[in-house]
Structure 1
Amino acid sequence: MTNTVDALSAQATQLPPAERLEVVERILDSLDQPDAALDTLWANEANDRLAAYRRGEIKAVALSDVIAKYQATAPR
């Protein structure tokens, strides 16, 4: 880590929990920027999957089945 990161981290840990959370939220928000190229890739993927479904190449799975699968494997 750089000296700046170390200093900011040390300062942040001295803040009350609510203010630390605000700092974290602001940092995460700054990372959540739109990416047109990524959006295009996801749109193409979704269109490809829908086309494969319509051609009968893949089947749909009930949402309840997906949730049950991941709940069963989630760490507790």
Structure 2
Amino acid sequence: MFEEIESAALQLSRGDRARLTERLLASLDEDPAIEQAWEAEIARRVRAYRTGEMKTYSFEEVDAIVEGMLGSAEGES
């Protein structure tokens, strides 16, 4: 049975295989305690964002930080 499913999955387009992979991986992580913890963390972050407790960065700031990090990493090699 596994071989039949595998063969059918390999016939899917690249995008469909990616979606199938995501769903299969997600099915391995179904733990109510973990889901509950993530929901609480998401709620905490949204609350922090809305109240201004969380520092936010513009795209330009993040882009400059990443460019700086990449530039530093290239200089190390």
TM-score normalized with structure 2 length: 0.42
